[in-house]
Amino acid sequence: GLLYGGTRQMKMLKKLLAIVLTGAMALTLLTACGSNAVRDKNIADALNDIAKAKGEKVTFTPRAKERELAKAIAALSDEDLKELEESLKNSSLPEKAKEILGINAGGANANNFVWCGATYTDGFGVSGQAIQFMTQVFDGALNMDKLTGKKPADTRYMGTALYKTVDKNGKQVTKRIIVVTAEAK
């Protein structure tokens, strides 16, 4: 009896261990490489939460058009991306990025408000990335000077894309480009 009981307990322990390990592995997929597991919808939800907390009636919705813009920017050369990151600090954009985003006269987004930001993903979950983005674009749209007298619509479309770069310490990091557009009213 004692020996039999021991093996049954051992089987139960093994089952429990298997369940715990499976759970741990699933969690790792969702968190450890957080940057890759995060989707546009997650970022949109976090941005919506921030807007709600601020009492703004704005909604962020993921859309393929904005995702394509983000992918096109993320595909720029390392030098162009570095220039972009520096420009964003001053709420401006290099010409190549303006062309991609279509905010120049005659561009696809010339009559839309456009926000663009680059956030760190390593070690930052969804909320952390959303907060970085909101902090960066706090001053307003990159082309708001061209849309005087107009306000952005409450519906904001967004898309993101990941890119690898090297930080100031020479360490490889993953960053996320976030592009948001809104119709000018």
Ordered mean pLDDT values, 10 residues apiece, the chain (185 residues): 52 60 51 56 91 89 95 93 87 90 92 92 87 81 86 94 89 92 94
* Placement of tokens 């420009």 in the chain: 87
pTM for this prediction? 0.78
Tokens of 28: 């790792």
pLDDT score of 6: 54
**How far, in Å, CA of 109 to CA of 111, rounded?**
5
**How far, in Å, CA of 47 to CA of 61, rounded?**
10
